[in-house]
Every structure is written in C-alpha cells, then in structure tokens.
Amino acid sequence: MRIFVAQSKTATTSPAFPRKGLASHTGRLDVVARMLRASLWTAEGVRRDSSFVVTLEGPPSPPLTLFFKGRELEADLSDERRAAEAIRACMKGELKGCKASKKSFEEVLKGLGVKLYVLREDGEELGEVGLPAAFVLGTQHDPELPQWLEAEAISIGPKSYLASHCIFYLHYWLDRSLRSRGSPA
C-alpha cells in the first residue's frame, strides 16, 4: 500500500467552491485536485494499491482532512474538474471510498501506522523503498512537520518539482522496482 499525505495551508474547507476558477477562488484546491489524480488515477481507472490523504487548512473552518482509499473509491478522476467534484463530494460525505474528518495534520501523521518518507530537495537520493509506506509532501508550501516525527527525508532531485509530478514519479519508481523484484506492480 502506498499512501500519499499532503498538507494544504490555504485550500478551502468548504464544499461551496465555484466550478470555475479553482486556482484563484479556492486557496489552490486545484493543486490538491492534481495531487489526488496523480495518487489514484491511471488510464485503467482508480489505482487500488494507493490512498491519498490531505489536510486542508484554509477558511472557513480548518482543519478538514479527506481520506481517499483507492481500494474502495468510486470516482472518475480523469480530469481536474472531475477530481475537484470528487473533493466536493467527499467534503459533503457523499463519496464512497472517501471520508472527511476534523483531524489535524499531526493527528493524521500519528495514525498512519506505516513507515514515513518526507520528500525534500535536500533528502537522501531515492533508493529502495519498502511498502507499505506513506510519502509526505506539501502542496505549494512545505508541510509543517511535528518535532516528534520519525521520517526518512528522501529526494527525487535537487530542484523543487510540482507535487503532482513528484507523486507520478514515485509511482513510476515503485512500480518499476516491484516489477524488477518479480512482484506485481
């Protein structure tokens, strides 16, 4: 199991966001929608081997954490608008395979129960990664990590990349390494 965990310090916590202008009217919920797609969507549909968790900390009532479970998710994430509609449905409690809660980012990290990797430009070069694992990354800002967090800092390169691209790359890396070990990807 692969879990992608994100913190958005600005994304709205209200499902009453407009269908258009996602980038300018929602505290960058568009970035979250792209991360959701990268975490859980393929040409064949929803990835069943992954989950996506995001803590939204924008107005009007933060925090709001959304747990998307690929194994159970019934959503079309084929484009950014559909991903945003899945986020809206999850916020309203109307999406099978997704649960909304008032858990803080710190509470989410405490409750994962798997090895944590934090993506950072100055982390160790990506190497062997054991699964199950959670990959922690920010949206457009680095996540605020608690001092007690025991996580390995890993890097996919010395530059800052879009969060959704980091997720795509991690999927590629994990699928490739599982295939080379003879495990199903």
Prediction pTM value:
0.94
- Label residue 114 by pLDDT band (50, 70, 90): very high
CATH architecture of residue range(s) 1-185: 3-Layer(aba) Sandwich (3.40)
Q: Does the structure show a pLDDT above 80 at 180?
A: no
Average of pLDDT values for 111-133? 91
Q: Does the structure show a pLDDT above 60 at 184?
A: no
Three-class DSSP category at 165: helix
Work out the mean pLDDT of the chain and round it to a whole number.
93
pLDDT digits (tens, 9 = 90+) for 53-110: 999 999 999 999 999 999 999 999 999 999 999 999 999 999 999 999 999 999 999 9
- Label residue 185 by pLDDT band (50, 70, 90): low
Three-class DSSP category at 36: helix
Where in the chain are the domains?
1-185
Q: How many CA atoms lie within 13 A of 38 on its CB side?
A: 24
pLDDT digits (tens, 9 = 90+) for 44-57: 999 999 999 999 99
Which letter, b or e, does each residue of 136-159 get, where b requires 16 or more Cβ atoms within 10 Å of its Cβ?
bbbbbebbebeeeeebeebbbeee
Greater model confidence, 130 or 162? 162
- Label residue 39 by pLDDT band (50, 70, 90): very high
Average of pLDDT values for 158-171? 94
Residue-level pLDDT at 140: 79
